Structure 1
Amino acid sequence: PHPTAPTPPPRRAPGTTAPPLLGRFLARAAAVTAALTAASALLGLLRDQTIAHLFGASVESDAFLIAWTVPEMAATLLIEDAMALLLVPAFSHALARRAARRTQDPALADDAVRALVLATLPRLCAALAAAAALLALGAPWLVRLLAPGFGDPQLATDCTRLTAVTVFTFGITGYFSAALRAHGHFLLPAGVYAAYNIGIIATTLTLHSLWGVRAAAAGVAVGSLLMILTQLPTFLRLTRAHRTPAPSRA
């Protein structure tokens, strides 16, 4: 006897909707983001308690609070606002162009996402590095502007120079986060602040006996570097050139 032919799946009537896969994905993304945000907030509280326990209400803690102004402003501008508003649409457009080009000709070698990265990331790195260097050089004037008459301006200047690196690292973090979000990856962008706070806490606890409150400022730099490293492997995987080899000729 002949085997029974498989029954084709029923066709949906016009006007019906597909299973809510997108809705479930968005719900999971929102839940993970909320959980990581809560974890980051708890780690931030632990960070603040660690610094308060080690340095208390002192000139050292005041010097760190002056330097803390830099990452606070940089995070708002470079991670959440400017990078997200500008680059998420740019990467989404590049992904749409990549898909359209592959539909037209699977053998096309160009890649819109890769082209966007090559056109923007090197220039952004140069601009952010220059801005961070200028901020470090101008730290004495910034301290006088933020805290005129502060008792230990050299300590505040040293801490500010250490935290000035976040102008570079936060900018790159925001760039990576925008690229990952445009690709539908929300876990790592939501977890960068957890990595950041872990870096601050670990560095402060390890080095405070040697460097004093400068260890906390160095922890800001270390934590911001961890934000980049957390996303770097996935960013490289998602933005590498997607090339379909042309068919070989006989």
Structure 2
Amino acid sequence: DGGEAPGLGAFLARAAAATAVLTVLGAALGLVRDQAIARYFGASDASDAFLIAWTVPEMAATLLIEDGMALLLVPAFSLALTRRAAGREPGQPDTGSAGGTGEPGDGKAASAEGPGPDPVRELVAVTLPRLCLLLTAGAALLMAGAPWVVGVLAPGLADPGLAVDCTRLTAVTVLTFGITGYFSAALRAHRSFLPPAGVYVAYNVGIIGMTLALHSVWGVRAAAAGVAVGSLLMILTQLPTFLRLLPLARPRLRRPVRRGRRA
């Protein structure tokens, strides 16, 4: 349809511009994060311990946010949206995609009230709880096996206990990055690109804030705790839009009240 092409092009241009701005901002905050850690801990056993623990979120981000989760879930959500559109009654408007500017809250919650269940809600109900259980188990195993992980990554480390503590704090990202990647895939399939693009801004803000606030009390553990806090902020950045576009509970329809006839 020639009438839709200009609107789609403008939407993609705005989404690309917003994504680029947030990506640059996230990278700049990453530089500030590195400078803060270097300033407070320098070249020391503490910074070595943090760098070992930093291996966990670096690997988790690649697998759960940037590559693996997107490759699996974006096609799944796109297929569910296609099934939803195919199951709508003729003339029923499509409210399942964000459209618009790609900003949080730009789209409306899906309302597939056809004869069958909503494929998107079904997908979330089946996959999200199981994914959370799997990721929670993985994070718990990593926390329990942190001494072994540190021994493999840095044999002969001067202070392995500090590295173990930091690794256990950053192990939270196995769960939080997985949920972040899930939300990002779902929102991108709904054409909502701004919240996923802002996750690394929130992440680095959490690390910088915790490092500045608690480095004198917790030492380098403050930076590791900042990784955990920042990863939670990544979820919170996307959660409102996710709940708006993919409500977990089907809204109840109010039945009309029948009034009896007067004699």
TM-score normalised by L of structure 2: 0.85
Contact 1:136/1:161 (CA < 8 Å) preserved in 2?
yes
SS at match of 1:76: helix
Q: 1:137–1:159: structure 2 CA closer, same or farther, 3 Å change rule?
A: same
Instruction: Give unpaired runs (5+ residues) of structure 1.
Output: 1-15
Distance, in Å, in 2 between the alignment partners of 1:213 and 1:129 is: 25
Which is further off, 235-244 or 137-146?
A: 235-244
Alignment of 1:152-163 (within 5 A): 152-163=159-170
1:95 corresponds in structure 2 to: 81
2:70 corresponds in structure 1 to: 84
CA RMSD of aligned residues (A): 1.9
1:144 partnered with 2:130: no
1:223 partnered with 2:209: no
Distance, in Å, in 2 between the alignment partners of 1:152 and 1:242 is: 53
How many residue pairs get aligned? The number is: 235
Contact 1:140/1:157 (CA < 8 Å) preserved in 2?
yes
> Structure 1 residue 103: deviation in Å?
2.5
Distance, in Å, in 2 between the alignment partners of 1:62 and 1:117 is: 40
1:179 partnered with 2:186: yes
> Structure 1 residue 74: deviation in Å?
0.2
1:17 partnered with 2:2: yes
Q: Which amino acid aligns with 1:123?
A: R
Q: Which amino acid aligns with 1:102?
A: R
Distance, in Å, in 2 between the alignment partners of 1:242 and 1:190 is: 28
> Structure 1 residue 237: deviation in Å?
1.3
> Structure 1 residue 108: deviation in Å?
2.8
Distance, in Å, in 2 between the alignment partners of 1:107 and 1:170 is: 34
TM-score normalised by L of structure 1: 0.89
SS at match of 1:20: helix
Superimposed CA distance per residue, residues 189-214 of structure 1 (whole angstroms, 9 cap, x where no aligned partner): 00000000000000111111110000
Superimposed CA distance per residue, residues 3-46 of structure 1 (whole angstroms, 9 cap, x where no aligned partner): xxxxxxxxxxxxx8225111111111111111100000000000
2:129 corresponds in structure 1 to: 122
Distance, in Å, in 2 between the alignment partners of 1:173 and 1:22 is: 26
Distance, in Å, in 1 between the alignment partners of 2:254 and 2:118 is: 15
Q: Which amino acid aligns with 2:205?
A: I
Distance, in Å, in 1 between the alignment partners of 2:252 and 2:88 is: 9
Q: Which amino acid aligns with 1:174?
A: G
Contact 2:89/2:114 (CA < 8 Å) preserved in 1?
no
Superimposed CA distance per residue, residues 202-245 of structure 1 (whole angstroms, 9 cap, x where no aligned partner): 01111111100000000000000000011111111111156695
1:60 corresponds in structure 2 to: 46
Distance, in Å, in 2 between the alignment partners of 1:116 and 1:107 is: 16
Superimposed CA distance per residue, residues 111-150 of structure 1 (whole angstroms, 9 cap, x where no aligned partner): 1111100000000000000000000000000001001101
> Structure 1 residue 247: deviation in Å?
8.6
Greater helix fraction, Structure 1 or Structure 2: 1
Distance, in Å, in 1 between the alignment partners of 2:169 and 2:181 is: 20
Contact 1:63/1:156 (CA < 8 Å) preserved in 2?
yes
Contact 2:87/2:114 (CA < 8 Å) preserved in 1?
no
1:212 partnered with 2:219: yes
Which is further off, 181-190 or 229-238?
A: 229-238
Q: Which amino acid aligns with 2:2?
A: T
Distance, in Å, in 1 between the alignment partners of 2:114 and 2:134 is: 36
Distance, in Å, in 1 between the alignment partners of 2:151 and 2:163 is: 10
Q: Which amino acid aligns with 2:143?
A: A
Distance, in Å, in 2 between the alignment partners of 1:76 and 1:26 is: 25
Q: Which one of 94, 107, 110 corresponds to residue 117 of structure 2?
A: 110
Q: Which amino acid aligns with 2:165?
A: D
Which is further off, 82-91 or 232-241?
A: 232-241
Contact 1:108/1:244 (CA < 8 Å) preserved in 2?
no
1:27 corresponds in structure 2 to: 13
Distance, in Å, in 2 between the alignment partners of 1:249 and 1:100 is: 32
SS at match of 2:87: helix
